[in-house]
Amino acid sequence: MHQRTFARVAPMRARIFFYICAIVAVFLTYRLCLVQVVHGARYAREALAQRSDTVEVFARRGSLLDRNGNVLVRSLPSESVYAVPREIGDPAATASKLQTIFGKLDPSVVAALHDRRLWFVWIARKVPHEVAERVRAMNLLGIALKEEDTGLRIDTSGRLASTVLGFVGTDENGLDGLEYSYDDVLRGHSGRVLLETDEFGRPIPFGRERVVAPAIAGASLELTIDSYLQFIAEQALARQVKVFHAEDGTAIVMDPWTGEILALANLPDFDPNHFWKYSDSQRRDRGVMDAYEPGSTYKLITAAAALESHKVSLSSRFPAHDQLEVGGYTIHNAEDGFMAGTGGSETLEQIVEFSHNVGAAEVGMSIGAKTFYAMERKAGFGTPTGVGLPGESPGIVPPPQEWSDSSLATMSFGQGVSVTPIAMARYYCAIANGGLLMQPRIVRAVYDQQGKLIQSNPPKVVRRVFSQRTAAELREFLRMVVLHGTGDPTAQIPGYATAGKTGTAEMVVDGGYQPGDYAASFIGMVPYTHPRYVIYVKVEEPIGSHYGSVVAAPAFAAIARAAMLHAGVLPSGTTIASNGG
């Protein structure tokens, strides 16, 4: 009985099991077709999206080059160091080893290394290649490196021209100087790449990679700066600032025929690679941002207005006095040992040569406010020069309706008006080149990463300030300053014919003149007959002497001599092969 029952039940169970397996197989086949055939493409896209990440591809920032192609600033690929605290076995030992590379770590970083709940903490951003290699060689558990989307900006020249070049932020955005004003040109456009990544966003080896948008590198700027002349200007300026314990200083070298700035030095300066360690004052481009009362160097405005208007000739004479009462204000000549003209009168040339404030005031009052102000504006004072550097001050040149009874007299020798060093240097370039006001240039050309010229920046004449004859007469005045006047002998260079003007002006502090605070300056050219260079030097708040002839003229002489030798012109006038562009 039992055997017959079992014989009937066993085949039935087998059939039921078979049917169940068949049903399951059909269902799985259906699901497999549904997943792989019907919805396969969609599921593949979703799976890829879950393990994919679109990353920004670093677009290398353009370089800054000097006029001879020497690299001043460049960007290099960079890496940053980070930690995954929960993967670190011995946080104390790890921190100790990292400190052998980075020095003392921030306490918050050390604390984070001990917190095993954390997945990520930055150790150092944008480290140099050699530092990244040292970290990599340690092979520390839980310490890794990540390639940055932006590069490491390196000033290859150190502090050279730092206040002109400026600096960039962590994301390579220009924050000051040329880096800021030409940021759109230098930055380029980052690209995007679709990568297969793990849960931490790290690329999977041999994973799928697709370029969504290619990175376009930034363009490079070829500057008008000559690295050698920049170095010479900075060294000469630094010597005078140090000797006279001065607060700050500026030196500018320009080509008067093209308006190119060959050197623009400011002290104090800073290290752009560690810009955050310096104050705003140390990073300041004083050559374009700081307007000051120029003092006697402004007498060449008075002289130009007088000659160009034909109200004063070379033979005109003015009463020679050491003081003059104007509008309740007493004007004095400087107590520098240069007496007023002999015979009770003096010419315009003598007034400039011996830098007499009283004589300049008399000339200014003789030509009138309208004539004087017209020359100021024609010379470009009171408006920015458009040099292309950020924060340029226009200076302060008030119109005649705002003048007091003594304004014309005091402005005639450079007080009651303020100008920037770059504007002053540009005006003397007009004297040097025959009367043309040039557009100052700091950028010579723009090139792409392959060296192809994108844009050139040729010389540009703004307007004619005065005639060639007037310019020649003004150069003769400046030559006499160096030979017999206030520039003798400090502005003289054996073997080279120089010309220039001293300036000594009281500084305005908190709205008033501060006793003992002076700006000592000298602006000159070499050789004076057909100048190659116009050189400006200003030193503020010197101690021991405040005369431009003593404080600033020696720096002019040092820069001028080096510049002429650099140009291949020997002291005797013999020309050799040029060393600079």
pLDDT at 576 over 80: no
Beta bridge partners of 261: 254
Beta bridge partners of 122: 82
Residue 29: the pLDDT is 79
As a whole number of Å, the end-to-end CA separation of the chain is 119
- How many Å separate Cα 32 from the centre of its chain? 66
Residue 349: the pLDDT is 96
The pLDDT-based confidence of 193 (bands split at 50, 70, 90) is low
Q: Find tokens 């470009």 and name the residue.
A: 380
Residue 216: the pLDDT is 79
| Helix, strand and coil in the chain, % to nearest 5 | 40, 25, 35
Tokens of 306: 């007088």
- Mean pLDDT along residues 158-186: 91
Beta bridge partners of 143: 83
Task: Please state, for a pLDDT cut of 70, what percent of the chain lies above it.
Answer: 85
pLDDT at 244 over 90: yes
* Tens-digit pLDDT profile for residues 18-73: 778 878 778 777 777 766 766 666 655 555 555 555 555 667 889 999 999 999 99
Give the three-state DSSP class for 438: strand
The pLDDT-based confidence of 207 (bands split at 50, 70, 90) is low
Helices of type H across 34-90 = 40-50
Residue 399: the pLDDT is 96
Average pLDDT taken over every residue of the chain: 87
* Tens-digit pLDDT profile for residues 508-522: 776 677 777 899 999
Residue 7: the pLDDT is 57
pLDDT at 286 over 90: yes
Least Cα distance to 351 among 235, 474, 470 occurs for 474
- Distance CA(172)–CA(170), nearest Å, equals 5
- Mean pLDDT along residues 439-455: 93
Residue 70: the pLDDT is 93
**Cβ–Cβ < 8 Å for 119, 86:** yes
Task: Tell me the domains of the chain and their CATH numbers.
Answer: 48-75+155-223 (3.90.1310.10), 227-566 (3.40.710.10)
- Distance CA(559)–CA(67), nearest Å, equals 18
Give the three-state DSSP class for 197: strand
Residues with Cβ within 8 Å of residue 375, at least 6 apart in sequence: 301, 304, 305, 308, 465, 466
**Cβ–Cβ < 8 Å for 362, 340:** no
pLDDT at 502 over 90: yes
* CA distances to 247, 313, 531, 567 from 434, in Å: 35, 18, 10, 21
Residue 378: the pLDDT is 97
Residue 2: the pLDDT is 58
Residues with Cβ within 8 Å of residue 411, at least 6 apart in sequence: 298, 364, 372, 403, 417
Residue 430: the pLDDT is 98
The pLDDT-based confidence of 328 (bands split at 50, 70, 90) is confident
- Mean pLDDT along residues 236-252: 96
* Tens-digit pLDDT profile for residues 519-567: 999 999 999 999 999 999 999 999 999 999 999 999 999 999 999 999 9
- How many helices (H) and strands (E) the chain has is answered by 19, 25
Q: Which residue has the higher pLDDT, 253 or 42?
A: 253
DSSP category for residue 121: E
Count how many Cα atoms sit within 13 Å of the Cα of residue 519 in the half-sphere of its side chain.
32
The pLDDT-based confidence of 191 (bands split at 50, 70, 90) is low
DSSP category for residue 173: -
Beta bridge partners of 537: 251, 522
Q: What's this model's pTM, rounded to 2 decimal places? A: 0.81
Residue 339: the pLDDT is 61
Residues with Cβ within 8 Å of residue 279, at least 6 apart in sequence: none
pLDDT at 234 over 60: yes
Count other Cβ atoms within 10 Å, centred on residue 259. 26
* Tens-digit pLDDT profile for residues 337-352: 666 555 689 999 999 9
Supply the residues annotated as catalytic.
Answer: 296
Q: How does DSSP assign 4-17, residue by residue?
A: HHHHHHHHHHHHHH
Residue 398: the pLDDT is 95
Task: Please state, for a pLDDT cut of 90, what percent of the chain lies above it.
Answer: 57
Residue 151: the pLDDT is 59
* Tens-digit pLDDT profile for residues 101-110: 888 888 888 8
- Distance CA(444)–CA(68), nearest Å, equals 11
* Tens-digit pLDDT profile for residues 75-97: 877 778 888 888 888 888 888 88
Side chain identity, residue 577 = A
Beta bridge partners of 455: 446
